[in-house]
């Protein structure tokens, strides 16, 4: 089986400043090809399949593309048009799951495969309306029998789970504010992390701010702000540690943090004055990948940090923000550890093209631990 290092669809690129090597997906099935949003991985667990987002400007319709490393062939699936950033890959099978309006579908990783209907939001929730999203990130319950939903309609959100056997949705709570980024705990099926976010009034367009960013809810319980004693509008882009013990997040302007789920103890993992937008940790919480995307800058960077010793390597020092793409599409790098932490997957805009990039981790460790 091919790998990113040996596939004909990837081209090696060495950053001129740091010398770090990335592999760029130069094989194409769409004008813009992006890695998955920061919580989810586009790879299957065995590394055979890589799913990625596809869009062809000026269209705003996102669909999915696939690279099968066994055949080393790419395929575009126009029937997978999805809402927001919902798709997720089932690691064990390589199937991709996505929402088409209010319906959940899955697709096997084969060119001849056709989408299979799984479930949908009930009519008493939808009431003829178009949702802003049904799941910001599809995350599977630890038992693998349901996915987490944060179905948004206007200012309210229906938070809970959608069974994968077609059974009725279980709404844990109707949240009376704009909530998103809901994610099942990776180890406890009775805990969901979600966030309050800023939005605009759907009638007037007036901005609606927020003060409490991170929330959690337990099954049969009530949602609660994670830091109730302080305002946290500068927190963002949260994810679970692999063991479910910590909630990781970015503090804009101060770096990457994590907090203990049970004690709420705050740990400043990687302080920096750089404008960090997204981060992701490996399964051991000892490696960190970060993107730096200050809106005032005309470029973006991706940084690798070895948390065991604080040493760092820029995967890429400066990628351009393509004006039209920046204005109309969400093309931040969104780095993510993939395939048992062998790679960091991210989105690149080098050569004025939006594409998927994969950076092998082993050479980075050689540089930080020599």
Alpha-carbon gap, residue 105 to 114, rounded angstroms:
10
Mind giving me the DSSP string for 258-288? EEETTT--EEEEEE-SS-EEEEEE-TTS-EE
**In what side-by-side order are the strands of the sheet with 266-271?**
235-240, 246-251, 255-260, 266-271
Do the Cβ atoms of 247 and 182 come closer than 8 Å?
Answer: no
| CA-wise closest residue to 268 among 255, 253, 278 | 255
Alpha-carbon gap, residue 299 to 301, rounded angstroms:
7
List, in sequence order, every beta strand (DSSP E) within 203-308: 207-208, 214-218, 224-225, 235-240, 246-251, 255-260, 266-271, 276-281, 287-292, 299-306
As averages over each run of 10 residues, the pLDDT of the chain (370 residues) reads 97 96 96 95 97 96 97 97 89 96 97 97 93 94 96 91 97 93 97 90 79 94 93 90 96 91 91 86 96 83 95 94 87 96 97 95 94
Alpha-carbon gap, residue 140 to 162, rounded angstroms:
10
Position 296 scores a pLDDT of: 67
Alpha-carbon gap, residue 246 to 235, rounded angstroms:
15
Mapped onto helix, strand or coil, the DSSP state of residue 324 is: helix
Structure tokens at 25: 């997906």
Mapped onto helix, strand or coil, the DSSP state of residue 162 is: strand
- Is there a cis peptide before residue 342, judged by omega within 30 degrees of 0? no
358 forms beta bridges with: 23, 345
Alpha-carbon gap, residue 61 to 141, rounded angstroms:
28
Do the Cβ atoms of 198 and 209 come closer than 8 Å?
Answer: yes
* Distance (Å) of CA 322 to CA 12, 32, 37, 303: 22, 12, 19, 20
Position 278 scores a pLDDT of: 94
Structure tokens at 68: 């099968």
Mapped onto helix, strand or coil, the DSSP state of residue 82 is: coil
67 forms beta bridges with: 50, 74
Position 155 scores a pLDDT of: 80
Do the Cβ atoms of 12 and 19 come closer than 8 Å?
Answer: no
**In what side-by-side order are the strands of the sheet with 63-68?**
32-34, 49-55, 63-68, 73-77
Position 233 scores a pLDDT of: 85
Backbone angles phi, psi at 313, to 5 degrees: -140, 130
Structure tokens at 12: 């090696």
Structure tokens at 169: 């949705």
Mapped onto helix, strand or coil, the DSSP state of residue 52 is: strand
Q: Which helix (H) or strand (E) holds 75?
A: strand 73-77
Alpha-carbon gap, residue 261 to 116, rounded angstroms:
36
Position 46 scores a pLDDT of: 97
Q: Has this prediction a pTM greater than 0.85?
A: yes
Position 230 scores a pLDDT of: 85
């Amino acid at each position: 089986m091919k790998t990113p290092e040996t596939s004909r669809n990837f081209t090696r690129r060495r950053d001129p400043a740091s010398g770090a090597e990335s592999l760029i997906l130069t094989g194409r099935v769409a004008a813009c090809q992006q890695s998955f949003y920061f919580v989810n991985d586009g790879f299957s667990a065995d590394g055979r399949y890589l799913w990625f987002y596809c869009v062809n400007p000026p269209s705003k319709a996102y669909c999915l593309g696939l690279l099968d490393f066994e055949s080393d062939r790419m395929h575009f699936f126009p029937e997978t048009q999805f809402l927001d950033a919902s798709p997720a890959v089932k690691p064990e099978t390589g199937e991709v799951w996505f929402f088409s309006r209010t319906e959940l579908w899955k697709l096997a990783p084969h060119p001849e495969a056709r989408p299979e209907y799984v479930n949908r939001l009930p009519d008493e929730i939808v009431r003829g309306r178009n949702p802003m999203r049904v799941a910001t990130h599809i995350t599977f319950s630890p038992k693998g029998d349901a996915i987490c939903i944060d179905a948004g309609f206007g200012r309210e959100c229906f938070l809970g789970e959608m069974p994968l056997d077609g059974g009725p949705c279980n709404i844990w709570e109707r949240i009376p504010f704009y909530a998103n980024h809901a994610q099942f705990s990776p180890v406890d099926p009775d805990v969901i992390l979600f966030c309050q976010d800023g939005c605009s009034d759907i009638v007037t367009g007036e901005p609606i701010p927020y003060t409490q960013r991170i929330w959690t809810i337990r099954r049969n319980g009530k949602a609660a702000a994670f830091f109730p004693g302080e305002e946290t509008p500068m927190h963002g882009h949260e994810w679970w540690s692999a063991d479910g013990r910590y909630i990781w997040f970015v503090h804009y302007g101060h770096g990457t943090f994590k907090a203990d789920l049970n004690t709420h103890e705050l740990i400043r993992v990687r302080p920096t004055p750089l404008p960090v937008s997204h981060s992701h940790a490996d399964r051991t919480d000892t490696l960190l990948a970060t993107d730096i995307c200050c809106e005032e800058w005309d470029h973006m960077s991706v940084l690798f940090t070895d948390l065991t010793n604080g040493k760092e390597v820029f995967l890429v020092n400066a990628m351009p923000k393509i004006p039209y793409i920046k204005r109309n599409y969400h093309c931040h790098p969104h780095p993510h550890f993939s395939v048992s932490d062998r790679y960091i997957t991210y989105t690149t805009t080098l050569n004025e093209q939006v594409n998927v990039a994969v950076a092998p981790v082993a050479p980075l460790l050689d540089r930080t631990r020599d």
